[in-house]
Amino acid sequence: MSAIATSQHAMAGAAEQSKVAGPERGVEALNIANLHAWYGESHVLHGVDLVVRPGETVCLLGRNGAGRTTTLRAIMGLTSARSGSIRVFGQEVIGLPRHRVASLGVGYCPEERGIFASLSTRENLLLPPELPTGFSGVAIEEIYALFPNLKERENSPGSRLSGGEQQMLAVARILRTGARLLLLDEISEGLAPVIVQALGRAIEELKAKGFSILLVEQNFRFSANLADRFYVMEGGRIVLEIARADLDGHRAELRGLLGI
């Protein structure tokens, strides 16, 4: 375990298990520099630079095929090759075996949700192992407070959950591991507005608890209210970075880049 995770643990304290150290710690939750990634011969990322500071919610926007999912997959070691630098809470992960990455405190919620159909909501939540991230995983009761829909569906098998409930469960499950940096791929996609709102409230609460979040989205309206900063990706490169305070001045440019 890194020195950072150990000291974060000491600071977390029993009563504040789900709080993380604030930005004053100075170590970025995620720092990606000059990242290139390939699927076989196909060179998909062309020098990505991106930072998520502790407690920040950052949104990665882009059109279909821009390279957003690939960025998340490259962090987790799921592309066939990658070069450059990816530091998770200060620790370089390029060169690290795939199974070691999650233990640094990063939780990846992929587009395909991977809910176990024959297991109940509660069993799905009990399944993920708590990893040696230096933090306790979020308790089941705290998960239910974040996602009241899941409490109602506690004993329903995964196969009986709606798409929205499955999405909530997929996000909730990674919280069980003790992850403090959340990589969420298009969690609002295809869901009813009322579910999207519930997911938005959960993100706000996670943010208030100090989680660092990288949201990959096409739904600009969803992310506009949540993110502190925005990156726009095109052709495997970051082409624009905007702080939330500067959004208004960039709306036309954003519409052009995102085709919205």
Ligand X SMILES: Nc1ncnc2c1ncn2[C@@H]1O[C@H](COP(=O)(O)OP(=O)(O)OP(=O)(O)O)[C@@H](O)[C@H]1O
Binding interface with Mg ion (CB under 5 A): 69
- Pick the closer one to ligand X by CB: 67 or 134: 67
Residue 66: CB minimum distance to ligand X, A:
4
Choose among ligand X, Mg ion, none what residue 42 binds, the Cβ cut-off being 5 to 8 Å by kind: ligand X
67 near ligand X (CB under 6 A) = yes
- Pick the closer one to ligand X by CB: 62 or 164: 62
Contact 215, 226 (CB under 8 A): yes
Q: Which of 115, 93, 111 is nearest to 102 (CA)?
A: 93
Q: Which of 207, 145, 132, 212 is nearest to 172 (CA)?
A: 145
For ligand X, the binding residue among 5, 31, 59, 62 (CB under 6 A) is 62
CA 154 from chain centre, in angstroms, equals 24
CA 110 from chain centre, in angstroms, equals 9
Question: Does residue 232 sit in helix, strand or coil?
Answer: strand
Q: How far is CA 32 from CA 47, 83, 139, in A?
A: 9, 11, 31
For ligand X, the binding residue among 31, 69, 124, 149 (CB under 6 A) is 69
For ligand X, the binding residue among 7, 34, 42, 83 (CB under 6 A) is 42
Residue with tokens 């943010």: 207
First vs last C-alpha separation in the chain: 44
44 near ligand X (CB under 6 A) = yes
39 near ligand X (CB under 6 A) = yes
Contact range with ligand X by CB under 6 A, out of 58-66, 118-126, 171-179, 247-255? 58-66
Choose among Mg ion, ligand X, none what residue 70 binds, the Cβ cut-off being 5 to 8 Å by kind: ligand X
Which residues contact ligand X (rule: CB under 6 A)?
A: 39, 42, 44, 62, 64-70
